[in-house]
Amino acid sequence: MNVSAVIKSIRNIMRQDKGVNGDAQRLEQMGWMLFLKIFDAKDEELEDMDETGEYVSPIPKEYRWRDWAANDEGITGDELITFIDRKLFPDLSNLKIQDNKRAILVRDVFRGNNNYMKSGQLFRQVVNELNKIDFHASRDRHVFGQVYETILKELQSAGSSGEFYTPRAVTEFMTQTIDPKLGERILDPACGTGGFLTAAIEHIRKSGVENLEQRQQLQNSVHGFELKPLPHMLAVTNLILHDIEVPDIAYEDSLLRNQSIKPKNRVDVILANPPFGGNVDDATAATFPVGFRTKESADLFLVMMVNYLKQGGRAAIVLPDGSLTGDGIKARIREMLLRNCNLHTIIRLPNSVFKPYASVSTNLLFFERVSSPSEEQEEFATKEIWYYEHQLPEGSKGYSMTNPIKLEEFEVEKAWWNNRTESETAWKINISEIIEKAIENAKPYYEKEKELKREAYSLKEKISAEKTVLKDIDKNQTAQIEKQQEKIKQLESSLQETETQARIEKQTADSIFYAAFDLDIKNPNIEYEEDDIEFDVLIGKIEKSFAESSQIVNKIKALIDLDNGK
């Protein structure tokens, strides 16, 4: 069976239907139909394996693929469209679940997706084409698995849906490097179409999953979240194609779980490419600690993923350059990462890897959770960070849909991984030294801030005492009252100036301290045309920040003195 020819035929049929507009709707239409057929094939397998004969599909008999679609001479035309729109979709989207995990999968798929086709005749043609693929036959299923990968890849050009697809070479390299083992709990909190999860499944199977107990162990080890209906459905189907009977992919926003993560929820391995460049709503941001509240989705996912890791757990994630730099909340999030995790490696990718969905430069971060999630750490877990700059193939100007990044290109990184040396493409920074220098430079300003706060507290007490004195002055003593009011006014002016200076000292100290957590580091071993990069580039950034902050302080103090007539 030429599976590719079948899929091509289905595409051509759908293009004739007036209800299907564009690639995204075509993919969704094909997606739920494939899901239903593949789910039914898996049901038949489960029925055959159940020696008791007690297994019952969660899908009511009249909606099973074999009962309404398998017969090529079955219902068609308006009768078929009416059946789909008025019976199958409404009933499956309101399926009684009764704690049946397979029933939950069916319900979530049909609640989130749509039937766009309007022609019953064309719909029947699509059904009959799908019937040419036998998902019971291992060869057909294997070939279809390869074809399905190309279908997922098409999401890159389906409008905004490209965010759900990570190039296969990237997922495989990250998975091979992080090396998930049988028995470890694996999570992708923004799993898209399930690329990382299927890569982990394939990787573990290569190491040996030989008996029923091990198969069940693998089944229970892989977990995902996906908020949007189309990729959720495609991910569920993807995992079923990889022999996961009941894919554990929750149809929800994983960010809303951050507050409720318990020890039993934590995982050994996280593989993820969280959405970046998007904004979350205020309600979602409010579920995070005040110091980490931001609307940038990638930054919130980083906070949550650190929280999800067990002590000793490890992660490989994709993040844009924007998450490696920036001040304020972004810097505090990176401080938290370096304090609680050993961020040992950053692979810097060219900006064309995710084209056409995104053209920003991205990075692969590899880290391990060192501290227990419940412990506050004074020491930083990260001592040094290795960087490796992935090179474009010789003669290539960039990646594209027709020229994607390939797994073999990562062979140089694999060879370097366990035998690390600095070169034109690899360099190491001593983050401990950088942080120590930042703490040393910021310390005088933090100490001055404390001193000013103590002075402000003393002034508040004096003001309170002088106001008590004012209350006790006889109302007829006008001159004395005015004198006392002027005294209070001067004290309040001094308080305002002291509090302003304290804030300035704090801002100066923070700018010096948090400059240490700028991880957007260029390779110091090569010369750049635009910038002369010093060997210890981060130390240079901190010292520059220190000097600039001192200038700011002096300017503001001069303005305060001028305002006070000094």
Sheet of strand 362-369, all strands in order from the earlier edge strand to the far edge: 248-250, 222-225, 186-188, 267-272, 309-320, 362-369, 341-348, 385-389, 426-429
What pLDDT score does 160 carry?
A: 44
What pLDDT score does 161 carry?
A: 40
pLDDT tens track, the chain, 566 positions = 677 788 889 989 999 999 999 888 888 898 899 999 999 998 998 888 888 888 899 999 999 999 999 999 999 999 999 999 999 999 999 998 888 889 999 999 999 899 999 999 999 999 999 999 887 766 666 666 766 776 666 555 544 444 556 888 999 999 999 999 999 999 999 998 899 999 999 999 998 878 888 888 999 999 999 998 888 988 898 898 888 988 999 999 999 999 899 999 999 999 999 988 778 888 899 999 999 999 889 999 999 999 999 999 999 999 999 899 988 999 999 999 999 999 999 999 988 887 656 667 899 999 999 987 667 778 999 999 999 999 998 888 888 877 889 999 999 999 999 999 999 999 999 999 999 999 999 999 999 999 999 999 999 999 999 999 989 898 888 899 999 899 999 999 999 999 999 999 999 999 999 999 999 998 887 776 554 444 444 555 555 555 555 555 565 555 555 555 55
| DSSP state at residue 390 | P
Q: Is the peptide bond before 356 cis (omega within 30 degrees of 0)?
A: yes
CA 183 – CA 219 distance, rounded (Å):
10
The dihedral over CA atoms of 228, 298, 250, 33, expressed in degrees to the nearest 10, equals 30
CA 97 – CA 103 distance, rounded (Å):
5
> Given the structure tokens 């990176």, which residue do they identify?
334
CA 269 – CA 176 distance, rounded (Å):
12
| DSSP state at residue 286 | T
CB of 152 closer than 8 Å to CB of 347: no
CA 522 – CA 425 distance, rounded (Å):
10
CB of 467 closer than 8 Å to CB of 487: no
CA 115 – CA 206 distance, rounded (Å):
38
What pLDDT score does 162 carry?
A: 40
CB of 517 closer than 8 Å to CB of 334: yes
- Tens digit of each residue's pLDDT (9 = 90 or more) over 509-557: 999 999 999 999 988 877 765 544 444 445 555 555 555 555 555 655 5
Domain boundaries defined on the chain: 1-136, 432-563
Between strands 426-429 and 385-389, the pairing is antiparallel
Going by C-alpha positions, the residue among 225, 226, 218, 220 that lies closest to residue 200 is 218
CA 171 – CA 405 distance, rounded (Å):
11
Count of other CB atoms within 10 angstroms of residue 150: 10
Q: Helix, strand, or coil here: 271?
A: strand
Going by C-alpha positions, the residue among 175, 217, 216, 215 that lies closest to residue 194 is 175
Q: Helix, strand, or coil here: 240?
A: helix
Determine whether 173 is exposed, middle or buried from the number of CB atoms within 10 Å of its CB (0-12, 13-18, 19+). buried
CA 421 – CA 468 distance, rounded (Å):
71
Count of other CB atoms within 10 angstroms of residue 231: 26
Per-position b or e across 39-63, b if 16+ CB within 10 A of its CB: bbbbbeeeeeeeeeeeeebbbeeeb
Q: Under CATH, which number does the domain 1-136 receive?
A: 1.20.1260.30
Count of other CB atoms within 10 angstroms of residue 436: 13
Count of other CB atoms within 10 angstroms of residue 400: 11
CB of 369 closer than 8 Å to CB of 313: yes
CA 178 – CA 197 distance, rounded (Å):
13
Count of other CB atoms within 10 angstroms of residue 229: 19
Between strands 362-369 and 341-348, the pairing is antiparallel
The dihedral over CA atoms of 316, 318, 321, 326, expressed in degrees to the nearest 10, equals -70
How many degrees, rounded to 5, is the angle at CA 328 between CA 322 and CA 332?
85
CB of 413 closer than 8 Å to CB of 494: no
| DSSP state at residue 525 | T
CA 125 – CA 131 distance, rounded (Å):
10
362's tokens: 């991205």
| DSSP state at residue 279 | B
Q: Helix, strand, or coil here: 536?
A: coil
Q: Residue 385's beta-bridge partner residues? A: 429
CA 237 – CA 126 distance, rounded (Å):
18
CB of 380 closer than 8 Å to CB of 338: yes
Phi-psi region of 453 (alpha: psi -120 to 50; beta: other; left: phi over 0): alpha
CA 533 – CA 537 distance, rounded (Å):
6
Going by C-alpha positions, the residue among 63, 60, 64, 58 that lies closest to residue 100 is 58
Q: Residue 272's beta-bridge partner residues? A: 317
| Amino acid sitting at position 279 | N
- Tens digit of each residue's pLDDT (9 = 90 or more) over 363-418: 999 999 998 766 777 899 999 999 999 999 888 888 887 788 999 999 999 999 99
